[in-house]
Structure formats: structure tokens, C-alpha cells
Homo-oligomer: A and B are copies of this chain.
Amino acid sequence: MPDAPAAHWVLTFVCADRPGIVHALSGAIVAAGGNITESQQFSSEDTGRFFLRLQVESPSTEQQFAAHLAPVAATFDAEWRLDRVGRPVRTLVLVSTAGHCLNDLLFRQHSGQLPIEVPLVLGNHATLEGLAGFYGVPFEHRAVTSPETKAAFEERVVAAVEEHDIELVVLARYMQILSPALCERLAGRAINIHHSFLPGFKGANPYRQAHARGVKLIGATAHFVTADLDEGPIIEQNVLRVDHTAGPAELVRIGQDEESRTLTQAVRWFAEHRVLLDGRRTIVFR
């Protein structure tokens, strides 16, 4: 296939660390006619795992390329994934009433700056229907006012994940706690934004807590959702300086910038296959 234009591929490869992995993999890549254009690797002393992310330019088809890689993966008993660079990741967004995170995600997606596609936004309030609509994204409102309606909302999440072959669920200031069963089901593919620099100020009203404690920095944390509330692996954090003049309400306003930029950044890294799990910690190949 000498005349095909070279495609750009992203490969992630995780296995127990031992000598020879890079040599074996780079051999398969050479055999597939590929050239490595980006490479990041990490050996975790905590878990003994080896993590690799490569970008490769290669004229091979995905099938051809995978055929070269599969034997190496088998040798090292690796979890691996091959994807086309820039392919939009199918993303379901959950919201309540605050629109700053959804606005940032959809504006950037729409501007071609964020490699996701959003087949559906699900809200437990109808507030953000218009915003989703402006960007041509379907919006469903399902009120959550009781254990029954909460269960129904989560069933709709599960169904939507199936229906749209969802790869990533984003809680864009969705203000309900997911059930342990749903957390389990979405493990490693659901990202939440918490409006504090975790582990400080877990739980409700973090800005009120921050004001009461008199901190000089407020922050935001994007993390994977787990059943253990606000304890999931952290993907990204940012902080902003504040002083004694800011009351809880102003902290809320000030913090929104950090929340949306932090969540969008985490979503971008996930969609670019830059986020890998190492126990309770994340490897982020920035």
C-alpha cells in the first residue's frame, strides 16, 4: 500500500515492567512501516507496572497495525489500545443547573478544539436545554426528586451508554451522587469535577468550607468517579489565589473558571488517551 497517506496512530500499552518491552514494540512498529513521533513511558515503583503511550505515523490500516502489535502484547500480557489520533470520543454529559462547564465543553468541541462528540446531554433539571440546543446537541430532562426517579435517571444513563456506545461519561457539575452500582459500571470512564483542591474540602459546599477555614487558595479537581465519594483517582487540579475579602458567594463565582478549565483539560487528556490508571493514582502523559 505504498501510495496511501500515512495515518497518525496512538498506542497505549500497560504491562508488568521488565527489560525488552520497548525493543519488542519498536520492532513491531518498524515492521508495520511506522515512525514514532511521540513517546512517553513510566515505570511505577509503587505497582511495578510499565506504562507507555506512543504516537506513530504509519501507512498501515488499523487492522494491519494491530496484527503486528498483538503478538508483542501477548508476550508481555499487556493491556493495550490502538486508536486513530484525533478520533472524537463518544461522550455523555450529565448536568444539573450550573452551565459553565457544559458551556466550555460544547464551545470547545464545536470550535474543533476538543476531540469528543456528544450524542446526548442528560439533566436532572431542564435549565441547560437551550445551551445544548444552541450547539445542536440533544438534551433530555429527567427530574430526580425521589429514590425512584433517581433510579430511573441512572437506568437512563446505562441505556444511553449502550445506545450511543459511550466511551466517556462527564459529570459537568451534576449535583447528584451516583449509586455504587453505577460507579462500578462506569469505572475508569466517568470523570467528575469537584470544586475544591481535594483532599481538602470533600463533600458538600466546599466553597463555604474554604471560606470558613480561611484558605488563601481555592481550587478544582477533576477525578474519576468511584463509589468512595471524592476519593477517585485525580486527573487534574488547579488553584486560584483568593483573600479575606471574598465571601462564599464570590468564591463560587471566582472558582467557576478553574472548574471549567480543569474539567475540560481532564476530558481532553482522556480523549487523547493520555490518562492511565496506576492503582489509586493516574498517569497523565501530558
Contact = CB atoms under 8 A, between A and B. Distances in A.
Contact of A36 (B22, B44, B199, B236): B22
Contacts of A214: 233-234, 280-282
A283 interface: yes
Central interface residue in A26, A233, A238, A243, by most chain B CB within 10 Å: A26
14 contacts: A22-B22, A22-B36, A42-B244, A42-B245, A44-B244, A100-B107, A113-B256, A198-B215, A199-B213, A199-B215, A215-B234, A216-B234, A217-B238, A244-B278
B23 A30 contact: yes
Given A23-B30, A234-B214, A281 B198 contact: no
Nearest to A244: B283
Given A197-B200, A215-B237, A234-B216, A247 B45 contact: yes
Given A37-B43, A100-B107, A237-B217, A19 B23 contact: no
B213 A234 contact: yes
Interface in A23-69: 23, 26-27, 29-30, 33-45
Interface string A101-129: 00100010001010000000000000000
A30 B201 CA distance: 42
Nearest to A257: B261
A60 to B, nearest CB: 13
Contacts of A107: 99-100, 103
Contacts of A37: 43
Contacts of A286: 243
A177 interface: no
A196 to B, nearest CB: 9
B23 A35 contact: no
A16 interface: no
A111 B134 contact: no
B36 A39 contact: no
Given A103-B103, A111-B99, A197-B200, A19 B43 contact: no
Interface string A164-197: 0000000000000000000000000000000001
Contacts of A35: 17-19
A238 B217 CA distance: 8
A239 interface: yes
Nearest to A27: B23
